[in-house]
Structure 1
Amino acid sequence: MQIETKGSFLNDRLDWNLLRTFLAIVEEHSISRAAERLHLTQPAISQSLRRLEESLGQRLIERRGPRFEITRAGEEVRRIAEEIYGNISRLSSELGELGDSVSGSVRLLSVSGVYLQPYDDFLAGFHRANPRIDLQVEVMRSSEVISTLLQKTATAGLSPSRVPVKKLERRLFMRQRYAIFCGRHHRLFGQPALTTEDLLSENFVSFTGDQIGDNLSPLTIFRDEKGFKGRVVASSSSVHEVRRLIFAGFGIGCLPEHVAQPDVAQQRLQRLPPGEGVADVDIHLLWSRERKYSQAETLFLVSLNQWLEKRERLGQAD
């Protein structure tokens, strides 16, 4: 199904999670009750509704003081959304009946440094339920993850994706908070009461994707806005190599907090200002909307999406 709006296909840019939120609003007849049901804040629900209306170019709800009425466009969107999620539920049920009879392989791409303990538990449960499905995980740069998925040669990918990519579906997987660190061999290591101004002339260790327009550009924008003058003296696409170079004293650099935490505890790395960190970078689950998937791949994607939806309902998406 394709809906054409203003000369472009809507399904190239629509976040399907917004449909789930809209269904909750309609079914609860209240934004506040929808927020309680989805374990989100009222402003978050209102923002999702606004984003959906902007994507469709239609007003879906007419507010009448504390009450609201669904527009004709809203009724049509509800019908389509119910059909979509009904099909997903039937697909999940059919796949569940197959159980461990499904065999095959899944090729999953990922940027380095993606760590989420509940995800490890999900993989363990999926393997127990589907012991005949093999999983191949390949670590690569974010741009390579996206290009490989567009070539339809992989099942799915875990990667930053600042904007929707045409022909790819995406769903928030986790949020990584980046902060600045220096290593034990750096001259700033051990110095107390440092400020952001103390860092402005320091050289940097960087990710190869840390540049304007790339998926880690929030790190570049932060440095530009704060007036950092040092040059990038070392870089890598691997978070573990960036961490190694920072420890070796090549320069200061940004790392996800969860990656650096063990080294900070062992006094191999020191966290630097600002205390609130540099930026949040969203990691998305990405998959092609045009690729034909095997039973094993479909089962993996449906199971992973169900797990992510459960985390969203419980307010554990970040």
Structure 2
Amino acid sequence: MFTIDEIYDEMTHLDPEEKLARELDWNLLRTFIIIAKSASLTAAAEVLRLKQPTLSSALKRLETRIGKRLVDRSPGRFQLTAAGKVLEREAIEIHGAILRLGTQMREVTDEVRGHVRIAMASHVISPLFNEALTEFHTTHPHATLSIDVTASRYAIENLTARHASLAVCLVHDRSPKLKYRRLFQEYFGLFCGPSHPLFGRKNLTMADLAGHSSVSFVTDQMDDALRPVTLMRAEAHLDDRVVGNSAHLEEVRRMIIAGLGIGPLPIHVVRRDLEDGYLWQLPPYKDMRKIDVYVVWNPKAPLNRAEQAFLDILIARIDQTDISERTYR
């Protein structure tokens, strides 16, 4: 009756080296490294916390596998043979390779992969958020990320439906199922474009804006996230009819510059447009409306490692940065 190993050997016709590689027990090699560094089997047994006869039996099995005597154990003598020295050197190399393999496998396991989907309100300008993106990509270069620009209400809907990992947007009504962290604060002012009759005029008052047409965001409503901006427009007594609106800041800006009407924009976002003469700021000059922009996520939604890593990086940066440094005037 043949054993499985014997049948395998017969079928594959293993040469002695291949057979040794297949049958050699790594534990015996690891034990031999200790024996080779010890002054006796008794000393090696103490290190390995084994009984001396057990260790002697293990050495004998290894010598049988190798087919060579490995240690000269004559009276008063305990010394590696030439074959023992070769085996010690190779065993140490194998041990190092196994340690390197463990490190490499851990790195593979620890490597963060996955995709992060961010639902974001239009034209979010935040150095802190940009820094979080940089840190995330530098730390986890194999993870990927996409940013879908949409109205704030739809960003929340996408998050609730789990079509997004997190949202960066304005918030009006908070859901108890979601978590919120203020990313930054921005101030809104009213602006007009070069073709508007108020463009370039100084020392204007709110009364000068009365009756003029306006453009705005789809969230510029009393029951939505830009309610403070709606109140600011109402205080200016602009024409009740909004001639153009959009969910995207770039398009609201386009309509203002094109002269369709007076419209609200975040001051820090359009500072360059003011300098370049594309926009003109109108009253109120002091009592401008402050709007909070939030990071929103679902704490019960299962996140992949990339999603969790990015969220951790972003929240950590928020926690480490005072709100005064996250307020853009």
TM-score (norm 1): 0.66
Q: How many residue pairs get matched?
A: 221
Q: Report what 1:44 is aligned to.
A: none
The runs of 4+ residues in structure 1 deviating greater than 4 Å are 97-100
Using the TM superposition, give the Cα deviation of residue 124 of structure 1 relative to its aligned residue in structure 2, in angstroms. 1.2
Report whether the alignment pairs 1:123 with 2:136.
Answer: no
Structure 2 vs 1, CA of residues 276 and 120 (structure 1 numbering), >3 Å: closer, same or farther?
same
Say which of 117, 133, 138 aligns to 1:107: 117
> For residue 317 of structure 1, what is the amino acid of its counterpart?
R
Report whether the alignment pairs 1:301 with 2:304.
Answer: no
> For residue 177 of structure 1, what is the amino acid of its counterpart?
Y
Structure 2 vs 1, CA of residues 280 and 210 (structure 1 numbering), >3 Å: closer, same or farther?
same
SS in 2 for 1:205: strand
SS in 1 for 2:238: coil
Name the CA distance, whole Å, in 2 between partners of 1:240 and 1:99.
42
Q: Report what 2:295 is aligned to.
A: 285
Using the TM superposition, give the Cα deviation of residue 299 of structure 1 relative to its aligned residue in structure 2, in angstroms. 1.0
Normalized per residue, the structure richer in strand is: 1
| 1:148-182 per-position Cα deviation (integer Å, ceiling 9, x unaligned) | 11112211000111342231100000111000000
Q: Report what 1:20 is aligned to.
A: none
Contact 1:170 1:286 in 2 (8 A): yes
Q: Report what 1:212 is aligned to.
A: 222
| 1:61-118 per-position Cα deviation (integer Å, ceiling 9, x unaligned) | xxxxxxxxxxxxxxxxxxxxxxxxxxxxxxxxxxxx9997111110011001211123
SS in 1 for 2:326: coil
Q: Report what 1:238 is aligned to.
A: 248
SS in 1 for 2:290: strand
Using the TM superposition, give the Cα deviation of residue 226 of structure 1 relative to its aligned residue in structure 2, in angstroms. 4.5
Worse-matched range after superposition: 168-177 or 270-279: 270-279
Contact 1:100 1:132 in 2 (8 A): no
Superposed CA RMSD in Å reads 1.8
> For residue 223 of structure 1, what is the amino acid of its counterpart?
R
> For residue 213 of structure 1, what is the amino acid of its counterpart?
D
Report whether the alignment pairs 1:161 with 2:171.
Answer: yes
Say which of 308, 322, 325 aligns to 1:316: 325
SS in 2 for 1:316: helix
Q: Report what 2:267 is aligned to.
A: 257
Worse-matched range after superposition: 117-126 or 276-285: 117-126
> For residue 279 of structure 1, what is the amino acid of its counterpart?
R
Name the CA distance, whole Å, in 2 between partners of 1:254 and 1:100.
46
SS in 2 for 1:112: coil
Name the CA distance, whole Å, in 2 between partners of 1:180 and 1:239.
13
Name the CA distance, whole Å, in 2 between partners of 1:244 and 1:237.
12
Contact 2:182 2:293 in 1 (8 A): yes
Equivalent residues in 2 for 1:24-39, closer than 5 Å: none
Q: Report what 1:196 is aligned to.
A: 206
Worse-matched range after superposition: 162-171 or 282-291: 162-171
Contact 1:172 1:317 in 2 (8 A): no
> For residue 274 of structure 1, what is the amino acid of its counterpart?
P
Say which of 182, 185, 195 aligns to 2:195: 185
Q: Report what 1:85 is aligned to.
A: none
Contact 1:171 1:286 in 2 (8 A): yes
SS in 1 for 2:270: helix
| 1:215-243 per-position Cα deviation (integer Å, ceiling 9, x unaligned) | 11111122234433452111111100000
Contact 2:209 2:237 in 1 (8 A): no
Using the TM superposition, give the Cα deviation of residue 126 of structure 1 relative to its aligned residue in structure 2, in angstroms. 1.6
Equivalent residues in 2 for 1:44-59, closer than 5 Å: none
Name the CA distance, whole Å, in 1 between partners of 2:324 and 2:279.
31
Contact 1:195 1:273 in 2 (8 A): yes
Using the TM superposition, give the Cα deviation of residue 270 of structure 1 relative to its aligned residue in structure 2, in angstroms. 0.5
Using the TM superposition, give the Cα deviation of residue 293 of structure 1 relative to its aligned residue in structure 2, in angstroms. 0.7
Equivalent residues in 2 for 1:13-92, closer than 5 Å: none
Name the CA distance, whole Å, in 2 between partners of 1:238 and 1:99.
41
Flag structure 2 segments of 5+ consecutive residues without an equivalent.
1-106
Contact 1:99 1:130 in 2 (8 A): no
Contact 1:102 1:296 in 2 (8 A): yes
| 1:233-262 per-position Cα deviation (integer Å, ceiling 9, x unaligned) | 111111000001000000011000022111
Contact 2:132 2:310 in 1 (8 A): no
> For residue 325 of structure 2, what is the amino acid of its counterpart?
Q
Name the CA distance, whole Å, in 2 between partners of 1:161 and 1:182.
26
Q: Report what 2:185 is aligned to.
A: 175
Name the CA distance, whole Å, in 1 between partners of 2:274 and 2:213.
20
Name the CA distance, whole Å, in 1 between partners of 2:172 and 2:206.
26
Q: Report what 2:154 is aligned to.
A: 144
TM-score (norm 2): 0.64
